């Protein structure tokens, strides 16, 4: 566990890119069961594996990183989703390469506050992914699965911080609680010497993840004119998930709703109603 901040973005990137990516116990258990089924009956396909992974951003990240780093030179397309990654990898090699998975719950067993902090980020990621997919479907965007995945992965650097440097992640939270006006990026710079968004982008490039995912998770990617509506879809899904997590009366939500209404070509009243329908239980 890292307890002191590293000096700059390059050092953080080099350190974190070599750390193992732990996964949720539920994902590890489901993959183990599928491996048994494949060995016994040969009945597992890529869609079944994807369903076991789809709600775990850390396992999703691990699969995409592994696939990108083991990509054959003759492969001309990127694996932008878990399903595509498994198809590219093959069922047998998938179970071979992911036979031993470190579990987040085991790693953070002695850090209950860190586990609680990570759970909050995971819950936010799930809601962001749900919003992104719903927004994409409303816009009839054929890349809805990729947009969902981009929103799910949007804050993976924060998740990895909770896993590998929980004391630093807790310190960021303490400073924001002490000063409600302190922005997340400013708190990150104070504690870590970097912003997590910059670290995330750099890690994705070093890992050679698909360019579309890099662009979709870049909140400053306005220059990519062809995919700008998709970038906005992911960014707004993440913002709405973050701000509504504090309640639907949060002061930041009106600006989110106004921009989202423009993106979805709806009135602000209809947009607010749509958001609450998307977020309704069940």
Q: Which tens digits make up the pLDDT trace of 11-23?
A: 999 999 999 999 9
Cα→Cα distances 64→21, 41, 79, 92, Å = 11, 27, 7, 17
129 is written with which tokens?
């992914």
**Span 175-193, mean pLDDT?**
94
pLDDT band at 180 (very low <50, low <70, confident <90, very high): confident
DSSP secondary structure string for all residues of 210-243: -HHHHHHT-TT-TT-GGGHHHHHHHHHHHHHHHH
Per-residue pLDDT band at 173 (split at 50, 70, 90): very high
pTM of the predicted model as reported, rounded to 2 decimal places: 0.94
Burial of 126 (0-12, 13-18, 19+ CB in 10 A): middle
What are the tokens at 125? 């990621």
Kindly list the distances between the CA atom of residue 160 and the CA atoms of 100, 132, 208, in Å, as whole numbers in the listed order.
19, 22, 18
- Convert the pLDDT of each residue in 249-280 to its tens digit: 999 999 999 999 999 999 999 999 999 999 98
Per-residue pLDDT, 73? 59
pLDDT in tens, 35-90: 999 999 889 999 999 999 989 999 999 999 999 988 775 665 778 899 999 999 99
Specify the pLDDT at position 280.
85
Residue pair 8/194 in contact (Cβ under 8 Å)? The answer is: yes
Residue reference for tokens 């708190």: 187
pLDDT at position 225: 58
**pLDDT tens, 189-236?**
999 999 999 999 999 999 999 999 999 999 776 556 567 899 999 999
Q: What is the pLDDT of residues 84-128, one digit of tens each?
A: 999 999 999 999 999 889 999 999 999 999 999 999 999 999 999
Residue with tokens 């789809």: 54
Say if residue 167's pLDDT is above 90.
yes
pLDDT of amino acid 219:
79
Q: Is the dihedral of CA 167, 241, 17, 54 positive or negative?
A: positive
CATH architecture observed for domain 112-278: Orthogonal Bundle (1.10)
φ, ψ dihedrals at 103, nearest 5°: -100, 135
Per-residue pLDDT tens digits for 234-257: 999 999 999 999 889 999 999 999
Q: Which residues in the chain are classed under CATH 1.10.3210.10?
A: 112-278
Residue 9 pLDDT > 80: yes
Which is more confident, 131 or 247?
131
């Amino acid at each position: 566990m890292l307890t002191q901040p590293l000096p700059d973005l390059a050092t953080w990137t080099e350190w974190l890119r070599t750390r193992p990516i732990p996964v949720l116990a539920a994902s590890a258990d489901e993959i183990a069961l599928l491996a048994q089924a494949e060995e016994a009956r040969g009945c597992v396909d890529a869609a079944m594996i994807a369903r076991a992974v789809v709600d775990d951003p850390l396992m999703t990240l691990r699969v995409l990183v592994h696939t990108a780093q083991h990509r054959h030179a003759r492969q001309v397309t990127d694996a932008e989703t878990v399903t595509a990654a498994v198809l590219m990898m093959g069922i047998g090699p998938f179970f071979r390469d992911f036979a031993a998975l470190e579990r987040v719950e085991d790693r953070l067993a002695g850090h209950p506050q860190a586990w609680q902090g990570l759970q909050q980020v995971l819950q936010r990621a799930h809601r962001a992914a749900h919003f992104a997919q719903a927004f994409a479907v409303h816009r009839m965007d054929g890349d809805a699965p990729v947009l969902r995945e981009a929103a799910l992965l949007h804050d993976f650097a924060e998740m990895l911080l909770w896993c590998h440097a929980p004391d630093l992640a807790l310190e960021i939270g303490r400073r924001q609680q002490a000063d409600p006006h302190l922005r997340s990026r400013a708190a990150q710079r104070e504690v870590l010497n970097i912003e997590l968004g910059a670290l995330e982008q750099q890690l994705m490039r070093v890992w050679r993840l698909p360019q579309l995912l890099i662009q979709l998770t870049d909140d400053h990617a306005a220059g990519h004119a062809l995919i700008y509506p998709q970038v906005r879809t992911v960014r707004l899904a993440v913002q709405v998930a973050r701000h509504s997590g504090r309640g639907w009366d949060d002061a930041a939500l009106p600006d989110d709703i106004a921009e989202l209404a423009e993106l979805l070509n709806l009135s602000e009243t209809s947009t607010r109603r749509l958001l609450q329908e998307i977020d309704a239980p069940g």
